Structure 1
């Protein structure tokens, strides 16, 4: 069934099941590639004999480059359209991941990772722009499920990499196989991505303003939540809760699974609860989870707290992207670019800033601070919904 919406530049675009599935795959593929690179990091560290601080600076090339190039993605979408930008990015990322498995020195890795980050940043913005337009034209909730496919891609890639690595497969061979899978999926689904371009009269890049700035700040807080769990939950469990080092990754694993499940159920959940209750209630539930992690010392109760964090925050960012269709102050591609760029500061700067807090005070304060930020987020979100008259 095709659904047509005669609205401005979107009047000639139709959305059906093929376009919806293509938008989901557009999220799956970058997640799959990212989890192809992640297991290679220890190999790179050992092969190049890198110290932890040098490795950290090397990995920062990805984040800084993505952050710099994200604002330019709007211009790419305006000139070439979502379809071409996503296809180009989803083609280059796996090819670069193969290259990352066999480079000779640290300088070649720095250049390749910077390029990898730039492509990832542009792909992230364009796939979210495509997703917002697809949801808008389809007239129903879709974004939570699309974001779930990023996590599915990560899980699928990590699982396949582990299976192949356990059979003593060469890392370059594994990366090449992963690359072939990505390119095959892109060949099947890429043709159904939207060929949406921002109107030539609209600015491809605009300084964030109005409610878009607020949504970007809220997205930053939400991304900071994910960064805090990923980077600091293991430290909290081992150093504060005195758990065995083997259990260091359990907090993030439980959080990730809970978030994936809730995102798969997210579109129906948001439809049932409404966007306002999903964001405000989710922020409060997530804050409660962070508070419980600090005060509870039992392994199973800590697991429950991480479940709350995953369930609470799962659908907040997808709803923020959905809300962009209500604002009138910026073109949709520029608004998506702004929210993604502002939100990404939570990934780039957040863990480092939390590290200074952990070093200057203690790790428990990090989680208490995040809980406070989430309560603030709930209050600001209330203002956003009033402003948009939801």
Structure 2
């Protein structure tokens, strides 16, 4: 089988590296669901599941945390330099030094605090980073938004493909053979050229289990899908008006908080989130700004479920959670405001301690 470099994806169906079973091609291997860690992880990642549609929360990559670390380091160094210049130079009020000081300040801000400015801009703009895929069971289609990574200024385009045309493949990474993400392709049946590429990449789950999970939803009765109703939550994250409620998800997915948004367990969240507030807020923003193909008229007309009698055991949204996602739950809001203030205080203390 021909292969391309690991940094590139297949352009022709013959270049796929490790194809899996195509839809409806053979019996689903339910033994894969015996892996509790993978199955529970997929339950945590479910955004919505009903007779019409299955969606997962887009995976949150580690390099976003690296960017957050860059923001912290940059801001920290900027404050150190600023205070050192301010304290050690007594002649800063002279004309020549003042001009130099302003130019240096602008240069430092531009080079060191650009990530912080971009982060604040992202929190306001809510630009999607990852694509969300909608598996439409009754219509046997997959809908998603697509935009080339090299065309950041171009709008997302809605794509709708037939589920039965998907060709699953494990992309093997040369320098990390343990990481074999799931990729789904659609090819021109005459030429074999790839026409659609769905990057269902995830660092935290076995791709074969993930593909079996998708196949079970699309091809089997609801009872065959291994849903844990204590883990799988119906969070309306990408339509939420509250960044704080979305940021809470990381704690609830890991069992550190209850699922009612009642405001209990505040001490745990304050202890953890005050140290990583920006990272969690950025992840909350990532969930909040996901593109929703389901809102597009061409997708909405494919949906037939009336919202009643969901055969999948998803925990319903509590009144407290509804208030939280509307930004009106004062306990959630107060907890995150205090966490942010603690976070800022810790960094202010670090700067003062370093320069004392």
TM-score (norm 2): 0.26
Of the two, which has the highest radius of gyration?
Answer: 2
Structure that is richer in helix per residue: 1
TM-score (norm 1): 0.24
Structure that is richer in strand per residue: 2
